[in-house]
Chain A
Amino acid sequence: DQQVKQNSPSLSVQEGRISILNCDYTNSMFDYFLWYKKYPAEGPTFLISISSIKDKNEDGRFTVFLNKSAKHLSLHIVPSQPGDSAVYFCAASAADSWGKLQFGAGTQVVVTP
């Protein structure tokens, strides 16, 4: 049973526009959420994270929003650039879980010129 879901397997966006990636979770014990970015033939790299005590975290062009009541988080990329074309994974962790992460299936983002 997948506890972290990314329902959009792919997203196409024009360069300069906003990319919005969505992630839903079912486990109310999750208290830390992360986004990873993955290029082909490489390992995932950490992008941005948010603790459950916050509802927004921003890092440059990347902003993550958390809606705990809806068990939903989203990643906004503004403005989107061709180098942002990658697979984005949402991940979540529960307290005292030894750092173990539950991953979503990923969303393939393609940024077109």
Chain B
Amino acid sequence: NAGVTQTPKFRVLKTGQSMTLLCAQDMNHEYMYWYRQDPGMGLRLIHYSVGEGTTAKGEVPDGYNVSRLKKQNFLLGLESAAPSQTSVYFCASSQTTGFPQETQYFGPGTRLLVL
């Protein structure tokens, strides 16, 4: 049981390049989330999904797109990277029954540097 995994762990991009961050969970959770963490600001929600095939905007969605084609995977895309998107990205998941859905389980993070 790996929990929540993220790929890649670290990436350097040039301004304008695109990339996709992959999140996978093996806990059969319905809900999945993408956050970014910046110094002094805690974690901010980018996008989230309440089930396969659904996505919704979070607090800071601009410049990102997401897809949830399979229940276990949640992809975060940057179509044209900007230096302001330099951050650490965390994926999380939570279940909807038997335990408060607010208890989220996090992946190890992806460190992204945009030059």
Contacts and interface: CB of A to CB of B under 8 A. Distances in A.
A43 B42 contact: no
A99 B102 contact: yes
Interface residues of B, number: 28
Nearest to B90: A43
B97 to A, nearest CB: 12
A71 interface: no
Contacts of A51: 100
B58 interface: yes
Instruction: Report, as a range, how many residues of chain A touch the other chain.
Output: 20 to 34
B45 interface: yes
Given A42-B109, A91-B102, 11 more contacts: A4-B42, A43-B109, A44-B106, A46-B103, A89-B43, A93-B102, A98-B56, A99-B33, A100-B48, A104-B42, A106-B42
